[in-house]
Amino acid sequence: MRLSYKMKKYNLYQIDSFTTEKFTGNPAGVITNAEGLKESDMQMIAREMNNSETAFIFPSNAADHDVQVRFFTPRTEVPMCGHATIAAHYARAIENNLPTTRIIQKVKAGNLPVDIIREDNDYEIVMTQGEIEFATPFGKDITDKICEALKITPDDLLENVPVQIVSTGHSKIMICIKSYGKLKNIEPDYAKLTDISQEVGCNGYFVFTKDTPDPKYFINARMFGPAMGINEDPVNGSSGGALGAYLIKHQLISSEKNQLKFKVRQGFSVGRAGLVEVIMDLDKNGQPLLGKIMGKAVIVFKTTIQI
């Protein structure tokens, strides 16, 4: 006797985040009606899409949030993701013809606000990130290992600025180097970076410089995450709040106001240029309180899958 299974159609998008031009920025998969999918289903869909992350939107199950979102790389689930958050809420806003509004998304990193800003018939998305946490800066041994894996030298690092893990929900190793030319030409040893990730408990290497060929961008950056199955993430949003906090802590940026904004250019090294705007709320002493990232998006395609 053959068994019959009831199958469901799921709305599947491919969305480029931190851009308004298709085939640039950072691509993310999004399923807007994910209720009914098992964890194994989500992992297989993420592997099939083969983006750095795919987002799955579920309805709320409590009064303290509006939607639940889960994020999967081709290899594993992650607690939050910047570009896939932009993509997820862009798709949801388009589907539901939303006005300007604020919602609370429940993610593995906590319950975090997302602002959906309607501009004519398009949207800009602002993602509030989690609590800022600084780990103890790495000593010379680990710093030298990271430099070796990135195929740079310790002399390429900006003086008196430590290599350090910072988190606003999804931790990154912050690595500040002097030269845009050096940044552009980095060709890492991904196996060594993966080994170091296991040693230090952090999967993302955010390498950046204040040296810029274009004054419109304050920071140029690249993000490597081979331990997550992402050799290079074109435009990484979850690093934005961590980067802002790191820049403030190490006096690489300052503001006399209670908020500062700056732009980060990424994706140039892989032909997918994109722009992240970082917004940092500061306390009365000019120290970081809260990080946000803002970005636009564009739908590349929409389809359905049946599972």
Calpha distance 208→13 (Å, rounded): 30
Q: How many CB atoms lie within 10 A of CB 126?
A: 19
Q: Which residue out of 21, 35, 48, 53 is catalytically annotated? A: 53
Strand 172-176 to 164-167 pairing = antiparallel
CA atoms within 13 A on the CB side of 291: 30
User: Above pLDDT 70, what percent of the chain?
Assistant: 98
Q: Per residue in 154-213, pLDDT tens?
A: 999 999 999 999 999 899 999 999 999 999 999 999 999 999 999 999 999 999 999 998
Strands 219-225 and 230-233: antiparallel
With both helix axes pointing from N to C terminus, report the angle between 190-200 and 140-150 in degrees, rounded to the nearest 10: 150
How far is residue 11's CA from residue 260's CA, in Å, rounded to a whole number? Answer: 37
- CA–chain centroid gap for 307, Å, is 28
Asked about 95 being catalytic, the answer comes back as: no
Phi, psi at residue 224, to the nearest 5°? Answer: -110, 135
What is d(CA 225, CA 23) in angstroms, rounded to the nearest whole number? 21
Tell me what pLDDT residue 1 has. Answer: 43
- Cβ contact 191:223 at 8 Å: no
**pLDDT, tens digit, 9 for 90 and up, residues 27-52:** 999 999 999 999 999 999 999 999 99
DSSP H helix total and E strand total for the chain? 6, 18
Please give the full DSSP string across 171-182, using - where no structure is assigned. Answer: -EEEEEBS-HHH
* pLDDT tens readout for residues 87-104: 999 999 999 999 999 999
- For the segment 216-267, what is each residue's pLDDT rounded down to a tens digit? 889 999 999 999 889 999 999 999 999 999 999 999 998 888 999 999 999 9
Which residue has 């740079």 as its token pair?
152
The DSSP 8-state label assigned to residue 280 in this structure reads E
